[in-house]
């Protein structure tokens, strides 16, 4: 028997009541009595008014505009893809604008990132950028893309009002790139990045998910991209989400969690950085305030480089305590965490009101955001419960 006044402070204690098979991760609670069969625990519950669980901490809303993608990346979805959502389940552009307006006007959230799936597949994406950029609610509008359609869209997106772009790129070797994406063409993506530069998009970031035995030997090659290009290359630790495989030959475990625990896929930031410095010299710290955006990357510069390199290390160095974002899925669900949320469905708010009730809708949307941010875990788990393509990364 455990005394009910006992306070557990270990970072990740798991307690099983074999009768009910309930599992509690104590790191997510503060000051709350939890009944587990015959065991009553006095633990802490989060204070919703402080830190990342406060709506005031939210600086950016990531908006997924589609779950569809023209790639089948090995770490994102199975080779045969996933079932796409019916189009009528996706939020309309007007509904997306309503959410952005409520976030901006009521909560002061004025940074928005359009994601997918692959957002450039959404019919009319240029029109959505134009709509959002002219609402008066947006200070910074960015888009994350695999770059496959960027050669034709870079200039129209910039002219419509897009400020920044992030391109997901996991190999600089054409044959390997094809194996990872299963459908992508590296030359097209690189041409798209050049077109974005030519179009006047000043802030271009390249995201590389590092996987052992897949592309971990290319870290220095990616860093070299910054020597003569004004881009920021960000190395992202592999994050197991949904039912993805983790090896280009598709022999790897499904779901990714087992691979990471065995260490045969996961590569930590310290190792990635060591590989880069071994070939290019010690990285120089960069003041984060000089980097565009408000993301979690820790930024450096290769000696003498024009661009920068950054590290997003959600697994080895979780940054949950400084999390400053919410996510909106393509189907209208606010999600508090990439790995596990805390979700609030706002589609009934958007589609269940009477004409002329715009102010009431905005207030309800704003309250839903408050409710959702309070559901953020103290520290995320080690395996996500949803496909990346449906969350928006």
∠ Cα 235 300 380 (to 5°): 45
pLDDT value at residue 124: 98
Instruction: Compute the distance between CA of residue 38 and CA of residue 19 in angstroms, rounded to an integer.
Output: 10
pLDDT value at residue 31: 35
Task: Kindly report the backbone phi and psi dihedral angles of residue 240, in degrees, each rounded to the nearest multiple of 5, phi listed first.
Answer: -75, 120
Q: Identify which of 365, 318, 360, 324 has the alpha carbon closest to the alpha carbon of residue 339.
A: 318
Instruction: Compute the distance between CA of residue 327 and CA of residue 330 in angstroms, rounded to an integer.
Output: 10
Domain housing 78: 54-322
pLDDT value at residue 295: 81
pLDDT value at residue 236: 94
DSSP string, 255-314: TSHHHHHHTSSB--HHHHHHHHHHHH-PPEE--GGGSSS--S-EEEE-TT-SSEEEEE-T
Indicate if 21 and 106 belong to the same structural domain.
no
Determine, yes or no, domain membership for 144. yes
Q: How confident is the model at residue 355 (pLDDT cuts 50, 70, 90)?
A: low
Determine, yes or no, domain membership for 371. no
The CATH number of the domain where 278 resides is what?
3.20.20.70
Indicate if 147 and 9 belong to the same structural domain.
no
pLDDT value at residue 381: 55
Q: Identify which of 267, 266, 240 has the alpha carbon closest to the alpha carbon of residue 255.
A: 240
Last residue of a domain, one of 322, 353, 375: 322
The pLDDT tens digits for 162-178 are: 999 999 999 999 999 99
Query: Which helix (DSSP H) or strand (DSSP E) does residue 390 occupy?
Result: helix 388-391
Indicate if 34 and 59 belong to the same structural domain.
no
pLDDT value at residue 25: 33
| Residues contacting residue 130 through CB under 8 Å, at least 6 positions apart | 160, 161
Query: Of residues 383 and 368, which shows the higher confidence score?
Result: 368
Q: Is pLDDT of 45 > 50? A: no
Indicate if 13 and 125 belong to the same structural domain.
no
pLDDT value at residue 209: 93
Query: Of residues 238 and 11, which shows the higher confidence score?
Result: 238
Paired sense of beta strands 111-115 and 60-64, if any:
parallel
pTM above 0.85, yes or no: no
Q: Is pLDDT of 21 > 70? A: no
Indicate if 309 and 213 belong to the same structural domain.
yes
Instruction: Compute the distance between CA of residue 205 and CA of residue 341 in angstroms, rounded to an integer.
Output: 26
Indicate if 111 and 39 belong to the same structural domain.
no
Percentage of the chain exceeding pLDDT 70: 76
Lowest mean pLDDT among 6-10, 47-51, 388-392: 6-10
**Beta pairing partners, 33:** 42
Indicate if 293 and 178 belong to the same structural domain.
yes
Determine, yes or no, domain membership for 327. no
Query: Of residues 284 and 391, which shows the higher confidence score?
Result: 284
Indicate if 308 and 215 belong to the same structural domain.
yes
Determine, yes or no, domain membership for 107. yes
Indicate if 163 and 180 belong to the same structural domain.
yes
Q: Is pLDDT of 2 > 80? A: no
Query: Of residues 230 and 74, which shows the higher confidence score?
Result: 230
* 234 alpha carbon, distance to own chain's centre: 13
Mean pLDDT of 69-78: 85
Determine, yes or no, domain membership for 384. no
Q: How confident is the model at residue 77 (pLDDT cuts 50, 70, 90)?
A: confident
Q: How confident is the model at residue 137 (pLDDT cuts 50, 70, 90)?
A: very high
Kindly report the average pLDDT of the chain as a whole number. Answer: 81
Q: Is pLDDT of 49 > 70? A: no
Indicate if 166 and 286 belong to the same structural domain.
yes
Q: Is pLDDT of 57 > 90? A: yes
Q: How many domains does the chain have?
A: 2
Indicate if 175 and 87 belong to the same structural domain.
yes
Determine, yes or no, domain membership for 364. no
The pLDDT tens digits for 184-239 are: 999 999 999 999 999 999 899 999 999 999 999 999 999 999 999 999 999 999 87
Determine, yes or no, domain membership for 89. yes
Query: Per the structure block, which two tokens stand in for 98?
Result: 């309503």
pLDDT value at residue 79: 81
Determine, yes or no, domain membership for 344. no
The pLDDT tens digits for 247-273 are: 444 333 333 334 444 457 889 999 999
pLDDT value at residue 379: 61
Indicate if 69 and 34 belong to the same structural domain.
no
Last residue of a domain, one of 45, 63, 80: 45
């Amino acid at each position: 028997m455990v005394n009910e006044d006992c306070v557990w402070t270990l970072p990740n204690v798991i307690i099983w009541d074999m009768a009910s098979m309930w599992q509690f991760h104590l790191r997510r609670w503060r000051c709350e009595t939890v009944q587990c069969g015959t065991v009553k625990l006095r633990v802490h519950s989060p204070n919703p008014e402080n830190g990342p669980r406060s709506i005031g901490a939210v600086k950016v809303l990531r908006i997924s505009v589609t779950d569809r993608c023209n790639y089948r990346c090995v770490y994102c979805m199975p080779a045969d893809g996933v079932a796409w959502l019916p189009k009528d389940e996706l939020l309309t552009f007007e509904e997306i604008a309503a959410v952005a307006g409520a976030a901006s006007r009521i909560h002061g959230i004025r940074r928005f990132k359009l994601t997918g799936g692959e957002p450039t597949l959404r019919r009319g994406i240029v029109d959505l950028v134009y709509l959002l950029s002219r609402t008066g609610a947006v200070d910074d509008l960015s888009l994350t893309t695999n770059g496959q359609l960027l050669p034709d869209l870079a200039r129209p997106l910039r002219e419509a009002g897009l400020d920044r772009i992030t391109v997901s790129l996991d190999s600089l070797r054409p044959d390997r790139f094809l194996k990872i994406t299963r459908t992508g063409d590296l030359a097209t993506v690189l041409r798209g990045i050049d077109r974005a530069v030519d179009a006047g998009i000043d802030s271009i970031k390249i995201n590389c998910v590092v996987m052992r035995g897949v592309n971990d030997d290319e870290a220095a090659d990616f860093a070299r991209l910054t020597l003569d290009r004004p881009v920021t290359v960000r190395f992202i630790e592999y994050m197991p989400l949904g039912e993805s495989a983790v090896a280009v030959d598709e022999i790897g475990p499904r779901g990714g969690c087992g691979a990471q625990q065995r260490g045969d896929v996961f590569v930590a930031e310290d190792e990635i950085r060591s590989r880069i410095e071994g070939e290019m010299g010690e990285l120089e710290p960069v003041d984060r305030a000089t980097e565009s955006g408000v993301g979690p990357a820790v930024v450096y510069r290769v000696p003498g480089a024009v661009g920068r390199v950054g590290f997003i290390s959600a697994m080895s160095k979780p940054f949950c305590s400084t999390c400053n974002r919410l996510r909106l899925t393509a189907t209208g669900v606010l999600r508090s965490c990439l790995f596990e949320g805390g979700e609030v469905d706002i589609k009934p708010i958007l589609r269940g009101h009477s004409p002329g009730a715009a102010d009431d809708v905005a207030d309800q949307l704003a309250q839903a955001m408050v409710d959702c941010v309070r559901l953020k875990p103290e520290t995320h788990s080690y395996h996500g419960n949803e496909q990346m393509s449906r969350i928006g990364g």
